[in-house]
Amino acid sequence: LKRDERFNKLTQEHVDYFRGILGSESAVIDGVTNDKAADDIEPFNADWMRKYRGHCQLVLKPGSTDDVSKILKYCNENSLAVVPQGGNTGLVGGSVPVFDEIVISMSRMNKIIDFDEVGGTLVAEAGTILEVADQFLASKGYIFPLDLGAKGSCQIGGNLATNAGGLRLLRYGSLHGTVLGIEAVLPDGTVLDDLCKLRKNNTGYDLKQLFIGAEGTLGIITKVSIQCPQRSKAQNVAFFGLESYELAQQAFREAKGQLSEILSAFELMDGGSQELVVKVTNNKRPLEGEYPFYCLIETSGSNAEHDGAKLETFLEDVMEKGIVADGTLAENETQIRALWGWREGITEALSHLGGTYKYDVSIPLADMYQLVEDTRARVDAAGLLGDTDEHPVRAVVGYGHMGDANLHLNISTRRFDKRVEECLEPFVYEWIQARQGSISAEHGLGLQKKKYISYSRNDTAVQLMRRVKSMFDPNGIMNPYKYI
């Protein structure tokens, strides 16, 4: 990948202009004229996985939509490339620069603007941290319709930009359904005010949808309006061990049938992923024995006792039928959190063990886990997998949102290694293409899957995306070098 020479390099004059707009000292981190800023800029150049690294020298932190508009207008007129950055928790290298693009960090735009307590519509600035939005909603008896392990750092603007899926999509659906409106700034500084608060609005093209999942390539989302459901009074969680993936599928069918309207999550973890969590956290496992597969079920309803009894009956039934080998139910909030930790904590645990190659795929359930087995066999046959230091790969594991047919294939390595990457790519993408799956169920394409979009999208679709991109961003300043 080479730097695109159409983009200008930053000068003192540019920096002075941005300082003039943003005023406050802390809103500009300037490594262009100040060598000492390098340490402050570093976190904006490194992604969450430490896999991708940019060389940006200037970070701008706008405080308002007007600031964003002035910044982008100037960048567009002066051919300066930019990367919008939210919480920088993205897992495909989309949130960090590749070369010297300016980072536009949304962290200061974090106000909750409005909440309709009857309708459940929340309007907030894009830089609001997901967990902060959810806690605000909890105080009103509502819930944010998205939840994920990075909630303490990711921002709702970043969630929209990646169309994050998360742990409760099964219940509340995708952001394409729950987002009611957005305000966004286009690359030329124009503000698109589509901050609709209505559930129903069939007036022409639904433009906001283009920004949901665009990964910052069309403009910067500055405000979000979203439909939030009532927070369930009762939450129950069960965790169980199973002897095979076939049995996990049967358990899913039973859960849908028996728990129907109260089922809010059905998550899968293989034995390998849980072993790595134990290795890092040293926590006591929730079940006595060890199993090749585990599932976590969450129910959300209006009556804890009633839901608990339903879940207990379900567990007894699936154990009697020999589907589930062993299981446990959380008895209080602390136990609920602890059980969720075994699922939500996998990504974090793996990050302490070296580099992880991540594939976020969607394939019909029947075939889903086979990908993990085939990948493990391939890495092993290449002599890369082993318990000792000479082997770069420690483990090939799978887990994910089984309820949404979304698998996270993770290859945990002692260090990122070109040989491992060559063994995995394009193998994994070809495997998915052969089954008409998606090479990105929820994390997006970013830089990681730049070359591979055609494994999931045909030429016509990709060409149309290019035309949309050039209509919105004719000078290509928005998040360049990434997938489009």
Nearer to ligand 2HG, 307 or 360 (CB): 360
Residue 258 and residue 154: Cα distance in Å, rounded?
34
- Residue 126, contacted partner among ligand 2HG, ligand FAD, none, CB below 5-8 A by kind: ligand FAD
Which positions from 182 through 221 interact with ligand 2HG, judged by CB under 6 A? none
* Beta strands in 208-292, from DSSP E residues, in sequence order: 220-227, 234-242, 263-270
Total count of residues recorded for the chain: 484
Site for ligand FAD in 38-57 (CB under 6 A): 48
Ramachandran category for residue 163: left, alpha or beta (phi over 0 → left; psi -120 to 50 → alpha): left
Position 102, amino acid: I
Among residues 223, 358, 469, 482, the one that binds ligand 2HG under rule CB under 6 A:
358
The DSSP annotation for 130-184 comes to HHHHHHHHHHTTB--S---TTTTT-BHHHHHHHT---TTHHHH--HHHHEEEEEE
Task: Indicate which single residue of 84, 149, 213, 241 sits in contact with ligand 2HG (rule: CB under 6 A).
Answer: 149
Task: Decide if 371 contacts 360 (C-beta within 8 A).
Answer: no
Please give the single-letter amino acid code of residue 107: S
Binding mask 323-352 for ligand FAD (x = CB under 6 A): ------------------------xx----
Q: Which of 57, 174, 217, 410 binds ligand 2HG (CB under 6 A)?
A: 410
**Within 64-83, which residues bind ligand FAD (CB under 6 A)?**
83
Is there binding between residue 97 and ligand FAD (CB under 6 A)? no
Range in contact with ligand FAD (rule: CB under 6 A) among 34-42, 135-143, 159-167, 232-240: 159-167
Residues 33-72 that bind ligand 2HG (CB under 6 A): none
Question: How many residues touch ligand 2HG (CB under 6 A)?
Answer: 7
Measuring CA to CA, how many Å separate 37 from each of 16, 42, 44?
A: 16, 9, 12
If binding is defined by CB under 6 A, does position 408 make contact with ligand 2HG? yes
Element counts in the chain: helices (H) and strands (E): 18, 16
Number of residues that bind ligand FAD (CB under 6 A): 37
Torsion of CA 296, 297, 302, 306, to 10 degrees: -110
Indicate the residue among 345 and 392 with the shorter CB distance to ligand 2HG: 345
Alpha helices in 5-92, H assignment, sequence order: 12-22, 38-45, 65-77
50 touches 358 (CB < 8 A): no
By CB under 6 A, is residue 444 in contact with ligand 2HG? Answer: no
* Close Cβ partners of 21 (under 8 Å, ≥ 6 residues apart): 67, 70, 71, 74
What are the Cα distances from residue 55, in Å, to 1, 100, 281, 374, 418?
14, 5, 34, 37, 21
The tokens for 118 are 């009857």
- Both tokens assigned to 424: 């995995």
Closest distance to ligand 2HG from the beta carbon of 399 (Å) = 7
Place of tokens 């909440």: 115
Handedness of CA 313, 316, 319, 321 (dihedral sign): negative
Tell me whether residue 108 or residue 408 sits nearer to ligand 2HG (CB atom).
Answer: 408
Contact characters 112-131, ligand FAD, x per CB under 6 A? --------------x-----
Q: Which does 445 bind (CB under 5 to 8 A by kind): ligand 2HG, ligand FAD, none?
A: none
Shortest spacing between CB 367 and ligand 2HG, in angstroms: 19
Q: Mask 328-347, x = binds ligand 2HG (CB under 6 A)?
A: -------------------x
**Shortest spacing between CB 103 and ligand FAD, in angstroms:** 9
Residue with smallest beta-carbon separation from ligand 2HG: 347
Only segment of 2-10, 200-208, 212-220, 278-286 that touches ligand FAD (CB under 6 A): 212-220
Residues that bind ligand 2HG (CB under 6 A): 91, 149, 347, 358, 360, 408, 410
Residues that bind ligand FAD (CB under 6 A): 48, 83-91, 94-95, 106, 126, 148-150, 154-155, 157-159, 161-162, 164-167, 215-216, 220-221, 347-348, 442-443, 479
